[in-house]
Amino acid sequence: MDITEYIKLVFTDYTLRTITLGTAILGAVTGMLGSFAVLRKQSLLGDAISHAALPGIAIAFLITGTKETNVLLLGALISGLIGTFWIRGIISKTHLKSDTALGLILSLFFGFGMLLLTFIQKQPNANQAGLDKYLFGQAATLVESDVWMMAIVTGICLFVLLLFWKEFKILLFDADYTKTLGFNTKVIDILITSFIVLAIVLGLQTVGVVLMSAMLLAPAAAARQWTNSLGVMVFLAAVFGAFSGVFGTAISSSQNNLSTGPVIVIIAGIFVLVSFIFSPSRGLLFKQIRFIKNRRDLELHKTLSFMFHIAQTHDNISHPHTIKILNNFQGYTKSTLQKLVNKNYVILEGNMWSLTEEGFNTASNLYNQQNPDNE
Amino acid sequence: MSNAQIEIQLIASLVAIACAVPGTFLVLRKMAMISDAISHSILPGIVIGFFITQDLNSPLLILLAALTGIITVVLVEYIQKTGLVKEDTAIGLVFPILFSIGVILIAKNANDVHLDVDAVLLGELAFAPFDRLIMYGVDVGPKSLWIIGSILIITIGLLIAFFKELKISTFDAGLSASLGFSPAIIHYGLMTVSSVTTVGAFDAVGAILVVALMIAPAATAYLLTTDLKRMLIYTIVFGIFSAISGYWLAHWLDASIAGSITTMLGLLFLVVYLFAPNKGVIAVLYREKQQRTEVSLLTFLLHLKNHTEERERHVNHLNEHINWQKVRSKTILDLALKNNMISFNKNIVSLTEKGDAFTTQAIDFIITNEDSQIEDMKDDFFLFRG
């Protein structure tokens, strides 16, 4: 199947269209809210909440007896919120640290959820089949109404985000200042946390419990590398998330036996890897290049300044010296000498070198901070 | 009790102890989430091991899985060191991606074999007794019992051998480095033990129960004591208690054993979280309320000491002046009266000798910025606390 054929299929095939749209919207909303989670150092909250949602799904099923997605997701939302606020309670009321609190809630809620699920399986009504799709996620089960649901929630998220943009932003970067300004930090905090929980719950059905945390983090972590502005970061994260969803769906649907969730996560992971390496200001590649360039400059400058100190002892600054003098000097190599010649700082004649007027002046100004050339 | 039931409880208890030891240190070192990450990211190791050996029982699987666990830790640390993201983000990125690779490997290649993601993650303790180790034609017990048993013995051996080093490097990495044992070696040793324990245990009980057994008993114990040895003992006791009671809960409900054990761990934690004598939520809330009252009392006494004029010391005036609600001012007046710090004379409040002495001393401490001394002083003066 080639690309044009695939694109045509996306627009004509109901299932493929639904899944592509669903994963794209999901990626966008998780990327958007994930930016806040990452910046608030709540990265693992997603992992904890997605596990903590399980008992809610089971209890919702036990109470209502239906497999209506919205009812189950409501249950998941409630138990996710209980988990989140219990995590906060543990952190604020005891000396247990946040990672312990997260791990506790994650494993305890999930275990309790498993207990309930196996308990449900033993119940006489055989209606429960498919509840475990929430564990690993099955994008194929998405229907149009789910996508509408996601779109509506995303719309609400976007609206609230724009409405309280200033408040969210200031809370992120200076919580104490926000308090002194008279904002009710608790309300803003609960608002943003609730939206993060909501986004996670929405994704359970598509990518499942384990992979949800990556969906929340990866687009945001990738976006963070390209910008220092919150607005740009949120936008980029949404774009990365949406693309991960679309590409992931495309790849998994083009091959047999490839579940969508893990592929989406790996695509998101590739976004992260590329951003880590190639982002211009923070990326590892350019950092390394800058490092090497700086070291070369330093060697050049060291050699030049060494030459300068020798030349200073002579009346004629262009008095020739043998290259041998430099041999014991660190930072001197054949290529640095050649570079100095190319820059017209030094003249080479056979085995002798001599500083030029220009070289002397540059060297004497080498450590002068006022000189803009030495930036 | 049938033989299988005893074996299941024995395996569960051994897993609980084996997890308790590294779990205690993970919780103390603020690295609890690493156990969650390891338990998920070992999946590709298991799958690759299976591709090589085509045998689910090969020790190579355990070896490769443990190796993947350590790779996870190294990767997390590497990503964190680049400074591009924080540590928790690094954890959150590494393990889902490794897990995804594992899931895809299974889906693409091992679809027709018995290697199920559900089974790996959730485990089924009930089947453990059926997988038996046969040596020279003699049945010597369930295989997982032997695996967990050996891991447990090694863990306990390492714990006893390196207890001092572990203790110092956990609480003061700088001191441990200056004393000459490298915190890095202890760190990776602990990570290796955690990784091996996770791998060995999750074959029998599943990934989630391993994480629960590593974190929950240790966290529960940490709310009850700050003594390391005692914490280890409590952790082990809580682990065994949940393992056995969880088994019977599962038996009664006919539900997942791992789920029941985790639920018991949860209940235990909830009880301790609420009712722990010093660090429980109720104790903390009570202490906060008491301190609020005592601070108010001190404010009130200072007010009395500062004002000699009767107008300022009239009961009704205090209400509006210090701006307390009626109930609160009554509580505080009662407390001061009970402690013999004030006396009434026709609705005019004045300090008694004892109240005066208390206030003077308190002012001294406040002026010299030794506010914390006031707490100790209260013990000398108070007959009743707020």
- Say what the ipTM of the complex is: 0.86
Q: What is the pLDDT of residues A137-159, one digit of tens each?
A: 777 778 888 889 889 989 998 99
Chain B contact set for A261 (CB, 8 A): 100, 103
**A353 DSSP β-pair partners:** A321, A348
Nearest to A301 by CA among A332, A334, A338, A344: A332
Domains of chain B and CATH, by start: 3-214 (1.10.3470.10), 282-381 (1.10.10)
Is B134 touching A (CB cutoff 8 A)?
no
Q: How many CA atoms lie within 13 A of A229 on its CB side?
A: 4
Please tell me which of the candidates B27, B96, B215 has its beta carbon nearest to residue A210: B96
Three-class secondary structure assignment of chain B: CCHHHHHHHHHHHHHHHHHHHHHHHHHHCCCHHHHHHHHHHCHHHHHHHHHHHCCCCCHHHHHHHHHHHHHHHHHHHHHHHCCCCCHHHHHHHHHHHHHHHHHHHHHHHCCCCCCCHHHHHHCCHHHHHHCEEEECCEEEEEHHHHHHHHHHHHHHHHHHHCHHHHHHHHHCHHHHHHHCCCHHHHHHHHHHHHHHHHHHHHHHHCHHHHHHHHHHHHHHHHCCCCCHHHHHHHHHHHHHHHHHHHHHHHHHHCCCHHHHHHHHHHHHHHHHHHHCCCCCHHHHHHHHHHHHHHHHHHHHHHHHHHCCCHHHHEHHHHHHHHHCCHHHHHHHHHHHHHCCCEEEECCEEEECHHHHHHHHHHHHHHHCCCCCHHHHHHHHHCCCCC
Task: Give the integer Cα–Cα distance in Å for B117 and B40.
Answer: 10
Our CA-based measurement puts residue B259 at a distance from the nearest CA of chain A, in whole angstroms, of 4
DSSP reduced 3-state for A46: helix
Does residue A355 sit in helix, strand or coil? strand
CB contact at 8 A, A52 and A83: yes
Interface of B with A in 214-273 (CB under 8 A): 214-216, 218-219, 222-223, 250, 253-256, 258-263, 265-266, 269, 273
Mutate to test the interface with A, among B30, B72, B120, B262 (most CBs of A within 10 A): B262
Q: In whole angstroms, what is the distance from residue A355 CA to residue A348 CA?
A: 9
Q: Find the residue in A nearest to B288 (Cα).
A: A93
Sequential pLDDT tens for chain B (386 residues)? 788 889 899 999 999 999 999 999 999 999 999 999 998 888 898 888 888 887 767 778 888 988 999 999 999 999 999 888 888 899 999 999 999 998 888 877 755 555 566 666 666 777 777 778 777 777 778 888 888 999 999 999 999 999 988 999 888 888 888 888 888 888 999 999 999 998 888 777 888 889 999 999 999 999 999 999 999 999 999 999 999 999 999 999 888 888 999 999 999 999 999 999 888 899 989 888 888 888 888 888 888 888 877 777 777 777 666 666 766 777 888 888 888 888 887 778 888 888 888 888 888 888 887 777 777 777 777 767 66
Q: Sort out which chain A residues have CB atoms less than 8 A from B216's CB and list them.
A: 104, 107-108
Of the candidates B139, B67, B365, B93, the residue with the CA atom closest to the CA atom of residue A266 = B93
Total residue length of chain A: 375
**A270–chain B nearest CA distance, Å:** 10
Contact state of A100 with B219 under an 8 Å Cβ cutoff: yes
Pick from A106, A118, A200, A244 the residue to mutate for testing the B interface (most B CBs within 10 Å).
A118
The model's pLDDT over B258-279, given as tens digits with 9 standing for 90+, comes to 899 999 999 999 999 999 988 8
Judged by CB atoms closer than 8 Å, whether chains meet at A110 and B208 is answered as yes
